[in-house]
Amino acid sequence: MKFKHLILTFLSLLIFNACSTDDDNCCPEPEMPEAEFADGLFVLNEGNFGSGNASVSFINENSGSAENDIFATVNGRLLGDTSQSISFFEDMAFVIQNVSNTIEVVNRNTFESIATIDNGLQNPRFSVVSNDNLYVTNWGDGSNPDDDYVAVIDLNSFSISKNISVVEGPETILETNNQIFVAHKGGFSFNNRLSVINTETNEVSKEIEVGDLPESLLVVNDQLWVLNNGKPSYAMEETAGSISKIDLNSLEVAETLSFASTTDHPENLKLSGSRVFYTLNKEVYSLALDQTTFSSNPEFPLNEVQVLYGLEISDGKLYAASANSDFTGNGNLYIYNLDNGSLLNSFSTGINPTAIYFN
Amino acid sequence: MGKTYIILIVFGVFYSNPSFSQSDSITLLEEIVLSDVKLAQNSEGQFIQKLSDSLLRKNEPLLTSALKFNTPVYFRENGYGMVSSASIRGTGASQTAVVWNGININSQFTGQTDFNTINTGVYDNIQLRPGGGSVIYGSGAIGGTIHLNNLFEFNSKVSNYLKLAYGSFETSELLYNGKFSNSKTSLNINFSGITSDNDYRYPGTELSNENGDFYNYSINTAVAQWLNPTNILKFYSAYYQGDRGFSGTLTLNSNSEYEDRNLRNLVEWKSFLADLTSSLKVAFIKESYKYFENRDADIFSFGEAETAIFKYDLNYSISATKSLNLLLDYTSSNGKGSGIANAKRNTTGISLLWNQDLGKLNYNASLRQEFLKEYKSPLLFSIGANYQIAPFYKLKLNTSRNFRIPTYNDLFWLEGGNRNLKPETSLQAEIGNEFQFKEMKLSIAAYFIDIQDLLRWTPNVSGIWRPGNTQNVHNYGLEVFAEWNKNLGEYPLQLNATYAYTRSIDQETEKQLIYVPEHKVTFVPSVEINNIKIFGHYLYNGSIYTSSDNQYSLDGYSIANLGASYIFNNSPGLELGFQIKNILDTKYQSIPSRIMPGRSFQTSLTFNF
C-alpha cells in the first residue's frame, strides 16, 4: 500500500473522529420523542376476549383531553388480547395481556415499545418489581390447580430466570419490606391464602390463611390489609367478605373484620388519608382505620357506572372505570368528588376499561 | 308381486275413488318417499329453497360452506372448520332450528347447532325455509329452519357414488353414497369424512392458523320396508364424530381441543287407511362433547344429553280439498355435565293443522300448545296462504307466533343459571311474490319479526353473568331468490342468485344488533360444455357491527370460488375435478381477529356406478 493512501486513510479517520463530540454541529442529533404521556392517567382497556382489541387510553384531566389506543398509535401494531394490568418501575411500564400471554414493556412517558416478553407466560395476571426482577403471577393451565406459578423475570434480559410454584389462583401481588405478597383468589376455583415470597431466595417462605377470595392488598401503617371478597352466590356455600389485617413483622393475622351477610362481597379496598374505602355493588363505603364494625350506610352511590370494572382514589377524587352492561363498545371513566360523591368529570375510554394508573 | 306395492297405493286409491284428484297420488308418494312430509305439505305462504345433492357436491362438505355460498344465511365462523353459527333474517344462532328428517336437533345445552358439525354429503337434499316454524318443529324456529333430508326410492336400482378429494393444507375428503332398493325395500348408506391440518396463512400477514387441525365424519343409514300394502316402516340412523383443535387468533395462542360425538336414531311406522294416514315416530338423540383447555393434558369439561321423542301424527282427509291433522308429541330429555346441575325436562305438545285447497287459493292454519312444569309455554300459531293470481305469479302470505325455550345452560348452569326465565316469543309476518317464467324463477319476500323477551347473558350489579329476558327486537327486511336457466346454443347455463337486506333493531337503543350484516349477496353460475362442467361462487357480505353502540365494525368483503370438472365417462361415471377457492385471496373475518383461509386448491376424483 502506497504511503499517500495511508495518509488519506488516517486523515479521513480524523474527520470522522471530529464528528463524535456532542457540541459539534456536524452530525444532527436524532429527535427525542415528546414525553406525551408524562402527566395524566392511563386507563387499561381489556377489550373483548378472543377479539384482540385490548388497548390503553391516556387522559389529561387538566386539559380535558383523552386519547384512545395509544399503544397501537405509537408502535403501529396491536397490543394483544385481554389486557389485565400494568405495573411501573423507573421509566418503564409493563402491560400484561392475559389471553395473548404477553407483556409489553414500554416507556411510560412515550409508550414506545422497549421489549415484548412472549415466552414462558401462561394466563399472566398481575406484576410488581423488586430487586431488579419483575414478578408476574400466572394461573398456568386454568383447569389445572397444580401448575400455578410466579415468574421471575430479569429486567436486564427480559427473560424468565425462575418459576416459583404457588397454590392455585395467584392474583394481586404487592411488594413491601423486601417481601412479596401474593393474594390467591383461586383462578377458576376458590382459594383463601396469601403466599409470602422471599426476594433473596425467590422461594415461598410462608403461606397465610385469610378469608375467601382475597383480592385487594393494602399497606396500612405496619400492617398488610387484605380485602376478601367472600365466595359468590354460585359457589356451593356462599360466604361473607372480610378484611384480614396482617402484622408485617410477625406475618400473622392480627385481626379479622367480617361483613354481616353472606351476600356481602366487597371489592376495591383503597386508602385515602385516615380512612379506607371499599365498594359493595355500586356503592362506596368508608371505614376509619381504627373502626372495627362496618357501616351499613354508604358514602355515596356510583349512579352513572354501568358495570364497575376498576376503581382508584387519588387526591380527594374517586375514579371509576365503567364497562358497558353488555360488554361491547367503548366504556367510560367517571370521576367523583370523594367527599360528597358528586360527578366531576367523565371521559370515553376503550372497550371494557378495567384499571386506572396515574403517571 | 313386489312392484305392485307402490302401484297399488298410488293408483289403486286413485281408481277406487274417482273424486280424488291427481294431487293425492303426489301426496301419497310424498308420504312414502319423504322423511319430513310437513315441510312439503304445510308451507303455504313461505318459500323453500332446495339444495340438491348435485349442488351440495360442488361445495365443501361441511354445512356452513354449502349455505354460506348458496343462501341468504349469514355465518359467524371462529375459523375454518371451527364453531360456526347461523343467522337468518338477523336473528341469533339459537333462533334457527336445524331439523333432521323432521326432528329438531338443536343442542339441549346451547339451543343451537354448530354448522361445522354437519356433513352435507350424507343427505339427499337440504332445504332452507326462512320464517317461523315452531308449530311443527318446536323451539328455535324463529328466523328459519334448515332441513336435512334422506329420501327413499323403490325403483329396483343400485347406485354407488364415490368421491375422493385432496387439497391445500393437507385436506382430504371422502364421500360415499350407496342406494339399493327393490319394490319393497329401500336402503341408503352414506359416509362423509374430512380431515385437515388447517394451517393456512392469514392473508396479508406473516402469521398462520395454528392449532386448528381437525377431522370429522358422519355415517348415515336409512332403511324403508313395506310390511304390507298399507304399512311401511322407516328407520334413519346418523352417527357423527369429530375432534378439532380450537384455533388461535391473530393475538391469541390456543392449545385447546374439542370433541363431539352425536348419535341420532329415528323409527317411523306409517299406516295408510282409506282417508286416514297415521304415523308414529320414535327418536333417540344423544349429544356429547368434551372440551380440553390443554389438549396435552387429561383435564376436560364435558356435557352429555339424551333425548327421547315420541310423535304421533294422524291426518284425516275430509275430502279431496280439505284435511285435518292432529299431532301429539312427548319429549323427555336429561343432561349432565361440568357446570350443569341435574338437568331434566319433559314436554308434552299438541298441534292441530288445517289445510284447504280452493283452486287458486291454498291455505293452512295451525295451532300448537306445549305443556311442561318449569314454565308456561305460549300458544303458537301459523296461518299461511298461497294465491295463484296468474299462471306466472303466485302471492304468498304468512303470519305466525314462534318461540325459543331457555336451554340447559340458561337454566341450570352452576355459575349463574336462572330458573326464572321465560321463553323468547316472536310474532312475525311475511309477504312473498313468486314469479315463474319460461327460463326464470324469481321469489321476493318482505318480512317483519317482533321478538320479545330475548334471552341474553349479561353481567349483573355484582359482575356475575346471568341470562335474562332482556330485550325487545324488531327484525325486518327483504329476501330475493332467483334462478335462470338458459341454453347457450346446446350448452345448458344456470345462474342462481340470492340477496338479503336485513335490519335487526334493538328497540331500546334503536341500533342494529351486532353481527348482523345489512346486505348479503350470493351468485352461482354453472355451465356444461360437452364433457366439461364449470361453476363458480361469488359471495358478498356487508359490514357488521361488533359493539352494540355501533361504534366498532368489521368491513364487508367479497369471496369468489371457481371449479371445473371433466367427465371421462358417463356410465359408469368417472369425473376429474379441480377447484380454486377464494381466488381473490381475500382476507376476511366474521369475528374480529379470526381470519379465514386465503386462496386454496383442491383436486377430486368421482366414480359413479
pLDDT value for B26: 74
A330 neighbourhood in chain B, CB within 8 Å: 547, 549, 551
Contact A214, A185 (CB under 8 A): yes
Amino acid letter at B426?
S
pLDDT band, very low/low/confident/very high, at A115 (cuts 50, 70, 90)? very high
Contact A265, A280 (CB under 8 A): yes
Contact B113, B141 (CB under 8 A): no
Residue B491 has a CB neighbour count (10 Å cut-off) of 12
- Interface predicted TM-score (ipTM): 0.79
Strands B74-77 and B84-87: antiparallel
User: Residue B526's closest CA among B63, B69, B55?
Assistant: B55
Contacts of B147 (CB under 8 A, 6+ apart): B36, B39, B99, B126, B127, B128, B129
Vertex B179 angle, CA B175 and B183, to 5°: 170
Residue bearing cell 367523583: A336
Contact B252 A232 (CB under 8 A): no
Residue A332 has a CB neighbour count (10 Å cut-off) of 18
User: Residue B92's closest CA among B105, B69, B108, B76?
Assistant: B76
DSSP B10: I
Asked whether the predicted pLDDT for residue A117 surpasses 90, the reply is yes
Is the CB of residue B461 less than 8 Å away from at least one CB of chain A? yes
Listed in order, strand segments (DSSP E) in B274-392 are 276-292, 301-317, 322-337, 340-358, 361-371, 380-390
pLDDT band, very low/low/confident/very high, at B274 (cuts 50, 70, 90)? confident
**How many whole angstroms separate alpha carbon B164 and alpha carbon B193?**
10
Asked whether the predicted pLDDT for residue B329 surpasses 70, the reply is yes
**How many whole angstroms separate alpha carbon B590 and alpha carbon B84?**
10
Strands A353-358 and A343-351: unpaired
Asked whether the predicted pLDDT for residue A174 surpasses 80, the reply is yes
Is the CB of residue A303 less than 8 Å away from at least one CB of chain B? no
**How many whole angstroms separate alpha carbon A92 and alpha carbon A88?**
6
The more confidently predicted of residues A171 and B2 is A171
B461 neighbourhood in chain A, CB within 8 Å: 281-282
The more confidently predicted of residues A152 and B338 is A152
Contact B20, B11 (CB under 8 A): no
Sheet of strand B49-52, all strands in order from the earlier edge strand to the far edge:
B49-52, B125-130, B144-149, B96-100, B103-104
Question: Residues B358-367: pLDDT tens digits?
Answer: 999 999 999 9
**How many whole angstroms separate alpha carbon B590 and alpha carbon A359?**
38
Strands B96-100 and B144-149: parallel
**How many whole angstroms separate alpha carbon B421 and alpha carbon B467?**
8
Asked whether the predicted pLDDT for residue B205 surpasses 60, the reply is yes
The enclosing H or E element of A84 equals: strand A83-89
Q: What mean pLDDT do residues A32-39 have? A: 76
**How many whole angstroms separate alpha carbon B343 and alpha carbon B305?**
9
Is the CB of residue A62 less than 8 Å away from at least one CB of chain B? no
Contact B142, B402 (CB under 8 A): yes
pLDDT band, very low/low/confident/very high, at B466 (cuts 50, 70, 90)? confident
Sheet of strand A179-184, all strands in order from the earlier edge strand to the far edge:
A170-176, A179-184, A193-198, A203-209
Among chain A residues, CA nearest to B589: A51
Residue bearing cell 319429549: B331
Question: Residues B172-192: pLDDT tens digits?
Answer: 999 999 999 999 999 999 999
pLDDT band, very low/low/confident/very high, at A19 (cuts 50, 70, 90)? very low
**How many whole angstroms separate alpha carbon B287 and alpha carbon B305?**
5
Q: What mean pLDDT do residues A171-175 have? A: 96
DSSP B116: G
Strands A283-288 and A179-184: unpaired
With a pLDDT cut of 90, the percent of chain A lying above it is 81
Phi/psi at B368 (5° precision): -145, 140
pLDDT value for A7: 55
- Work out the burial of residue A89: count CB atoms within 10 Å of its CB; fewer than 13 is exposed, 13-18 middle, 19 or more buried: middle
How many Å separate Cα B599 from the centre of its chain? Answer: 27
pLDDT value for A15: 47
How many Å lie between the alpha carbon of B518 and the closest alpha carbon of chain A?
Answer: 19
Of B178-187, B369-378, B560-569, give the lowest mean pLDDT range: B369-378
Mutate to test the interface with B, among A49, A51, A77, A116 (most CBs of B within 10 A): A51
Q: Taking the CA atoms of A109, A112, A118 and A123 in sequence, report the sign of the dihedral they define.
A: positive
pLDDT value for B463: 62
Phi/psi at A289 (5° precision): -65, -25
Contact B468, B504 (CB under 8 A): no
Write out the DSSP string of B556-585. -EEEEEEEEEEEEEETTEEEEEEEEESTT-
Contacts of A270 (CB under 8 A, 6+ apart): A216, A218, A276, A277, A278, A311, A312, A313
Q: Label residues A15-25 b or e (16+ Cβ within 10 Å = b).
A: eeeeeeeeeee
Q: What mean pLDDT do residues A278-295 have? A: 93
Mutate to test the interface with A, among B202, B210, B249, B252 (most CBs of A within 10 A): B252
**How many whole angstroms separate alpha carbon B370 and alpha carbon B391?**
40
With a pLDDT cut of 90, the percent of chain B lying above it is 75
Q: What mean pLDDT do residues A100-129 have? A: 95
**How many whole angstroms separate alpha carbon A38 and alpha carbon A88?**
13
Among chain A residues, CA nearest to B255: A141
Asked whether the predicted pLDDT for residue A215 surpasses 80, the reply is yes
User: Residue A167's closest CA among A132, A198, A197, A130?
Assistant: A197
CA distances from B139 to B47, B98, B263, B514 (A): 20, 10, 20, 23
Asked whether the predicted pLDDT for residue A280 surpasses 70, the reply is yes
**How many whole angstroms separate alpha carbon B62 and alpha carbon B60?**
6
Is the CB of residue A143 less than 8 Å away from at least one CB of chain B? yes
**Mean pLDDT over each residue of chain A, to the nearest integer:** 90
CA distances from B263 to A39, B91, B220, B307 (A): 63, 28, 10, 11
Classify the phi-psi angles of B45: left when phi > 0, otherwise alpha if psi is within -120 to 50, otherwise beta: left
Is the CB of residue A228 less than 8 Å away from at least one CB of chain B? no
**Mean pLDDT over each residue of chain B, to the nearest integer:** 91
Asked whether the predicted pLDDT for residue B343 surpasses 90, the reply is no
C-alpha torsion A316→A318→A319→A324, nearest 10: -160
**How many C-alpha atoms does B535 have within 13 Å on its Cβ side?**
22
**How many whole angstroms separate alpha carbon A323 and alpha carbon A308?**
7
Strands A133-138 and A149-154: antiparallel
pLDDT band, very low/low/confident/very high, at A228 (cuts 50, 70, 90)? very high
Contact B592 A53 (CB under 8 A): yes
Is the CB of residue A330 less than 8 Å away from at least one CB of chain B? yes
pLDDT value for B470: 75
The more confidently predicted of residues B490 and B26 is B490
Is the CB of residue A144 less than 8 Å away from at least one CB of chain B? yes
**How many whole angstroms separate alpha carbon A95 and alpha carbon B595?**
25
pLDDT band, very low/low/confident/very high, at A33 (cuts 50, 70, 90)? low
pLDDT value for B5: 56
Q: What mean pLDDT do residues B8-26 have? A: 47
The more confidently predicted of residues A7 and B113 is B113
**How many whole angstroms separate alpha carbon A81 and alpha carbon A54?**
5
**How many whole angstroms separate alpha carbon B343 and alpha carbon B583?**
48
Of B210-214, B240-244, B303-307, B405-409, give the lowest mean pLDDT range: B405-409
Write out the DSSP string of A217-267. EEEETTEEEEEE----TTSSS----EEEEEETTT-SEEEEEE-SSTT---E
Q: What is the pTM (predicted TM-score) of this model?
A: 0.87
Asked whether the predicted pLDDT for residue B17 surpasses 60, the reply is no
Is the CB of residue B593 less than 8 Å away from at least one CB of chain A? yes
Question: Residues B59-88: pLDDT tens digits?
Answer: 999 999 999 999 999 999 999 999 999 999
Contacts of A87 (CB under 8 A, 6+ apart): A93, A94, A96, A126, A127, A128, A129, A134
The enclosing H or E element of A116 equals: strand A113-117
Amino acid letter at A243?
I
Asked whether the predicted pLDDT for residue B325 surpasses 50, the reply is yes
